[in-house]
A and B are shown apart, each in its own frame.
Chain A
Amino acid sequence: MSHLVLGPVLFNWPPEKWRDFYFRIADEADLDTVCVGEVVCSKRLPFFADYIPEVIERLQSANKKIIMPTLALIMNKREMESVRSITALDEPDILVEANDISATSLLKGRPHTVGPFVNVYNEGTLDYLARNGAQSICLPIELGLSSISALAPNSPTELEVFAFGRMPLAISARCYHARAHGLHKDSCQFVCDKDPDGMNVDTLEHQPFLAVNGVQTMSHGFVDLTSSLDDLQEIGVQRFRLSPHDNVDMVQVAATYRAVSEGLMDPIEAHSLIKMSMPDITFCSGYMGDGIACH
């Protein structure tokens, strides 16, 4: 039985839109676990923080498990405090997801999850984090099928694979959204809110290349692993992460993944369905294909 996880919203959405998105997910989406919190930029969290309790309550009422992720890059006291307060959470029904090694340290000995921003490339690290208390680990985006095949059969924790959405490729101290608008990070005017799915980055020859989401750089194309689900499930991966987007019907994406993972829909048909319903988006198989990643 597959386990579908909705990753955290990676973009800067207006707080009410953010809340309403999760309300709809709670009411309509066939998902097992939902991640609620900020991973990319500490400056965004205060805008929607007040809505977190009611979002969690609504999701829990709809029998969704809750994961609260920590920030991926921690550089100052304020960000460190945010990680300390989330990892100090003592709620039996909520697991905290570590996205930096500092959070795995603070969660030592307690059940938690590990997100895709912690470098887990091999058995040695996997074993260590499992002994530390990790119950499931979402593998870094860079791992291909051969690495996952080496890890999954004997994995001491459940493994999760980033299956849908723009791939998070890099994180920086510098805000490229601010830089593109002639601003600095400290006085950014939160211009990342202009691009609810990220700002497209093209080459000088107008070839689609990357996307910028504040301090985060992502793939231009969306990964869609519907056609790899069979292979991944066969080697023992049961958890699949779907990353929220604004211009995508995430309820439909979740339903499609559920149908494929349960053998109720042909993977090729599923991929076509996803492509047809999102004609403006380029899809790829990310790091699951042979050779070069996503173009």
Chain B
Amino acid sequence: MKAAVDSGADAVYLGFRDATNARNFPGLNFSRAELEHAIDYAHDRNCKIFLAINTFPEAGNAAPWHSAVDDGAAFGVDAIILADVGLLAYTASKHPDLRRHLSVQASASNPEAIRFYQEEFDVKRVVLPRVLTLPEISALNREIQVESEVFVFGGLCVMAEGRCALSSYVTGQSPNTNGVCSPACAVRYEDEGDRLVSRLADFTINTFAPGEAAGYPTLCKGRFIANGKTSYLFEDPVSLNAATMLQDLAAAGVSGLKIEGRQRGKAYVAKVVTSFRRSIDSTHDSNVEVDDLISVTEGQRRTAGAYDKTWR
């Protein structure tokens, strides 16, 4: 959080240390006391804190999600980011003045869905699913009355977010219910002498030759056999980088650029945020920043994902 604030982020997303947010991984996230300190630190430096409560409350057990909303409001977060209709209804009725953003997990990919969240729950900003092309984002922004935000750097979900049960199918835990995808507790690497096998629960996700860098077995980035061929059927082990598209995204009416930082180290966050800050503040030559970012992408190839139509 401090690295992001100090490097020039306008706002930082945080979550509580439980299943109420979609980055519920060990060693991440904030206690109540830590959140209060974080708000002070950020506000002293003219930076906003957005609280992510973007999983779907468990049936019969809404209390942890309601208390996350109530505590966020009491501590004075600048906005909360939500995905569940029931939780949006709760928040709009209990804390009408608390600014609400719509999480990418709500999968609001069209003007009618966004209008619904605006009219029913007074949502002020929507994070767009990573399914839309640049022209589609531009067309969408002309039809909606709220701010939009897009992912520009970090992981790339290839499925429509909030509508993917692949992780729970394999591991029993999913982004929607547990706030995790392909969780580490289900990962095993097995050295079979002539190859290293990465597994997620009972399934082989990839194999690597000796000396080959073994990536994390995120299940949609594995190699599988279909139609008689072995391939990265869903997606290559790439990460998202839309650094060369910042001007296009601004022209398309996008208000917020989102960098994935919550599963990353301080050095990574500082480097990426600094690069994007510089890029946005200078109106030209953003390609220089792209080269800067190669060192933090861990040798992974980069893609502009769905923003580029040929990705589909």
Contact = CB atoms under 8 A, between A and B. Distances in A.
Nearest to B119: A105
Interface residues of B, number: 69
A76 B229 CA distance: 32
Contacts of B61: 150
B257 interface: no
Nearest to A148: B59
Given A171-B163, A292-B170, A204 B84 contact: no
B83 to A, nearest CB: 8
Interface in A224-247: none
A189 B162 CA distance: 29
Task: Name the prevailing secondary structure of the A interface residues.
Answer: mixed
Contact of B84 (A105, A122, A179, A180): A122
Interface string B78-101: 000001111101100000000000
Contact of B57 (A122, A178, A210): A122
Nearest to A178: B312
Interface stretch (A2-10, A16-24, A125-133, A272-280): A125-133
A150 B86 CA distance: 15
B234 A209 contact: no
Contact of A73 (B89, B163, B234, B235): B163
A187 to B, nearest CB: 10
A80 interface: yes
B23 to A, nearest CB: 18
B110 A79 contact: yes
Interface string B115-129: 111001000000000
A104 B116 contact: yes
Question: Chain B interface secondary structure, helix, strand, loop or mixed?
Answer: mixed
A203 B203 contact: yes
B201 A172 contact: no
B273 interface: no
A224 to B, nearest CB: 16
B159 A171 contact: yes
A209 B235 CA distance: 16
Interface string B272-312: 00000000000000000000000000000000001001111
Nearest to B204: A203
A75 B309 contact: no
A45 interface: no
A207 B204 CA distance: 8
A209 B224 contact: yes
Interface stretch (B131-139, B239-247, B261-269): B131-139
A219 interface: yes
B56 interface: yes
B86 A122 contact: yes
Nearest to B311: A174
A205 interface: yes
Nearest 7 pairs of A and B residues by beta carbon: A124-B86, A150-B60, A105-B116, A102-B112, A173-B131, A121-B56, A125-B86
Interface of B: 56-62, 83-87, 89-90, 106-113, 115-117, 120, 131-132, 136, 139, 158-160, 162-166, 168-172, 174, 176-177, 201-207, 223-227, 229-231, 233-235, 306, 309-312
